[in-house]
Copies of this chain bind each other. A is one copy, B any other.
Amino acid sequence: MPRIAPINACAGREPHGARGVKVAVPKPKFKQTRDTREAVLSAAAKNFREKGYAAVTLREIAKTAGLTTGSLYYHFKSKEDVVREVLDQGHIFIRLAVEKALADPRVGTDDRSRIRCAIKTHMACLFGDDSLSAANIRIFSQVPAQVKYPTLASRHAYEALWRSLFQDAKASGFLDPNLDIEVMIPLMLGAVNWTLEWSGSDDVSVDAIVDHVVTMLEA
C-alpha cells in the first residue's frame, strides 16, 4: 500500500466528513442525528474498504461508529440503505474533488499538468482519511444490482470528465492519436484503482505512482 500523500495535493482539499474522533468529552448528546448518520457512514466505509461488502456485519459497523445495532436502525432502514449512501457519497465526493482541483487556477493549462492533477486528486481521495471514495471503488462490483444501478449516472458523469480531458490531450498530441480513449481511460483508472489492492511495499509514494502513470500515458 502506497504511503498516504500529504493531503491538499494539487489543489487544496479537506476530507469530506472531517469530523474528529468521537470520544465524547462531556456528553454532546442530541441534535446530532446528522453527525451520527455520518459517523455510521464513515465507519461503514472504513470496514467496507478493508473487508469488502458481504464480509462486513452491521454489528461491526455499529461498533466502529460507537453505537449498537438497534440504534443504527434508527438512522438507516437496512444494510443496503447504508451501502447505497456510502456508494453515492463516495463517488460524488471523488468527482467533485477532481472537478474542483482542475478548476484551481494554480493548475497549469497544458494537458500534462491537467491530467497529472486529475490523477493525483483521484489517488488522494483513495488514500485520504475518509474511506468513502476508497470503499466505493473497492466494493462496487460486490454490491447487489439494485444498489449499483442507481449510481451509474454519477459514474458516467465521472467518465465524461476523463473523456473530455483525454480528448483535449489527444488533440494536442500529448496522447498517442492511434490509441482509443475508451480503452485508455478504464485501463488507466484500473491501474490507479488497483493500488488499493497493493499490500506491503509501503515504500512507494503516491507521487511516484502518479509520475509513472503520467509518463506511461505520454506519447
Chain A residues within CB distance 8 Å of chain B: 51-55, 140-142, 176, 178-180, 182-184, 186-195, 197-199, 201, 204, 208-209, 212-213, 215-217
Oligomeric state, in copies: 2
**Given A52-B53, A53-B55, A212-B179: A194 touches B186 (CB 8 Å cut-off):** yes
* Bound complex: CA A204 to CA B216 (Å): 21
Majority-rule SS of A interface residues: helix
A192 vs B190: C-alpha distance in the bound complex, in angstroms?
7
Chain B residues within 8 Å of A187, by CB: 191, 194-195, 209, 212-213, 216
- Interfacial chain B residues near A201, Cβ < 8 Å: 182
Contact assessment for A190 and B195 in the assembled complex, using a CB-CB cutoff below 8 Å: yes
Chain B residues with CB under 8 Å of A176's CB are 215
From B53, B141, B204, contact of A197 by CB (8 A): B141
